[in-house]
Amino acid sequence: MAHKVVVTREVFDDVLERLRAGATVVDNPSDRPLAPDELAVLAADADALVCALTDRIDESLLARCPKLKVVANIAVGYNNIDLAACTARGVMATNTPGVLDETTADFAWALMLGAARRVTEAERYLREGRWTGWQLKQLLGVDVHHATLGIIGMGRIGQAIARRAQGFSMPVLYCNRSRLDAATERGLNARWVARDELLAAADFVVLMVPYSPATHHLIGAAELARMKPTAVLVNTARGGVVDDRALIEALRQRTIAAAGIDVFEGEPAFDRGFLALDNVVLAPHIASSSTATRRGMAMLAARNALCVLSGERPPNLLNPDAWKS
């Protein structure tokens, strides 16, 4: 009997074809997020689940899906998956690291430049018919070149962001759980510092840490107060890493100059206070959203699922204790 794979959100046709070559596939072409009960009914007899960050994979779901062998997340982050519950039931969980590193780094720079040079504010100004001519002090921003870049979270994406800084002649400060080797630091023109030193010294602070209880509200009112009043904060990590309410207040009071935000607490809901601010660039969690990258993420998730169904260890296994358990 063919294995059954449930795909919880819309994916690319070639990804579905790849899955159908090795399994019976039930997909969600409407791309509507499935309620927990809907997902449980759909996956009740599934062998594999190809899912997204919008899907909560927990004990209550797993208990209703006794045949499930693998949960393949189309994302690097996996805070939507209860790994302990998966491991306890022998369900392998996978993610899609590496595929989106460069694309996400590009977008972090888009937010950085957009916030520094007030791009979205300037576009609104023009579209609303308020531009009457050139002025010397019109929409003054802050320079990116030769400024100090601070990166909190120097993994693959953080390092990709740092590599791009060399083209802007920017020294890099970074804060990470472990220090990079000396050769990598030299290559990135990067210096390892404590977080408080980074916040006080950097002109641009980019967050690239995973979300966990340890990083919840990593940046709050106290941290924002340590930053320069001319500084720009960029969050392409996860919602909840920043205290959004505190950030809105810091932007309103000009405690910092500007921000570029791609992720929010409780998304897709978000604090509407952001909308009243001119000094923030907002995006709807699209840092990895290029055609090539999103296709690559979905294809890697499919590969992870099919590996498990064929009895092979998947390349991106998050809970190795579930392998052959």
Q: Which residues have a catalytic role annotated?
A: 238, 267, 285
H or E segment and range at residue 101: helix 101-116
- Size of the chain in residues: 325
Residue 256 DSSP label: S
56 Cβ contact partners less than 8 Å away, ≥ 6 residues apart: 36, 80
Residue 148, helix vs strand vs coil: coil
For residue 119 the two structure tokens come to 């791009």
How many angstroms separate the CA atoms of 261 and 238, rounded?
Answer: 10
H/E run at residue 50: strand 48-51
DSSP secondary structure code for residue 57 in this structure: B
Supply 159's token pair.
């390092």
Dig out the tokens for 21 from the structure. Answer: 């070559």
Q: What is the SS3 assignment for 19? A: helix
Instruction: Tell me which residue has tokens 């306890």.
Output: 88
Is the separation of the CB atoms in 297 and 98 below 8 Å? no
Residues forming a β-bridge with 5: 25, 48
8-state DSSP, 279: S
CA trace torsion 194, 197, 203, 207 (10° rounding): 30
